[in-house]
């Protein structure tokens, strides 16, 4: 009887360790901390014409891939272009690879324009000093931009697109 209990206890210990390993392997080293769930749009980068914002609450992990949403918003949009586009990116953090999976255009009132475009692109190398590198630092390494933060993209626009 003692031998049976010892075998059952050893099996439970090994099964628990295997389950813990599965959980660890699903999260890449240096993975971003859990998002708060509250939208918090932050300016990631700017050019003379465009601002790039991200929301840490959109960071999710699925099957070893980290997903995050980024908005591209013109600083002075022309009348014929969207107020912003919302893009979904996937990262293989440890391999330093990314791809874009979805793009949706939005009008000034926040309503979607054309139907979202779903992409089936192959993963490609992250450009360390490019936009994909900055976004990888957010999605995979937990980096954040300096305040101010905005609850919505419309709030950022109303705040003067700064």
Q: Are 85 and 9 part of one and the same domain? A: no
- Which CATH number do you get for residue 128? 2.40.128
Instruction: Average the pLDDT over 60-75 and give the result.
Output: 96
Q: Are 132 and 144 part of one and the same domain? A: yes
Q: Are 22 and 41 part of one and the same domain? A: no
Q: Are 24 and 45 part of one and the same domain? A: no
Q: Are 14 and 52 part of one and the same domain? A: no
Q: How many helices (H) and strands (E) does the chain have?
A: 3, 8
Q: Are 3 and 72 part of one and the same domain? A: no
Predicted local distance difference test score (pLDDT) of residue 34: 41
Q: Which domain holds residue 16?
A: 1-29
Look at 57-61, 77-81, 125-129 and tell me which has the smallest mean pLDDT. Answer: 77-81
Instruction: Average the pLDDT over 80-90 and give the result.
Output: 93
Q: Are 108 and 45 part of one and the same domain? A: yes
Nearest-angstrom CA–CA distance, 2 and 156: 67
| Omega cis (within 30) before 69 | no
The whole-chain average pLDDT of the chain stands at 80
Predicted local distance difference test score (pLDDT) of residue 7: 33
pTM of the model: 0.74
Q: How many domains does the chain have?
A: 2
Q: Are 65 and 126 part of one and the same domain? A: yes
């Amino acid at each position: 009887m003692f031998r049976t209990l010892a075998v059952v206890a050893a099996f439970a210990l090994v099964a628990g360790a295997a389950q813990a390993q599965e959980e660890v392997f699903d999260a890449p080293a240096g993975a971003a901390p859990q998002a708060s769930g509250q939208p918090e749009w932050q300016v990631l980068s700017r050019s003379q014409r465009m601002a790039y914002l991200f929301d840490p609450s959109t960071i999710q992990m699925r099957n070893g891939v980290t997903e995050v949403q980024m908005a591209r918003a013109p600083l002075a949009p022309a009348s014929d272009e969207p107020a912003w586009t919302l893009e979904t990116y996937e990262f293989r953090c440890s391999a330093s690879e990314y791809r874009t999976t979805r793009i949706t255009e939005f009008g000034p009132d926040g309503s979607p324009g054309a139907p979202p475009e779903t992409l089936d692109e192959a993963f490609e190398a992250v450009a360390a000093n490019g936009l994909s590198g900055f976004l990888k630092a957010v999605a995979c390494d937990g980096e954040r931009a300096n305040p101010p933060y905005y609850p919505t993209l419309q709030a950022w626009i109303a705040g003067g697109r700064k």
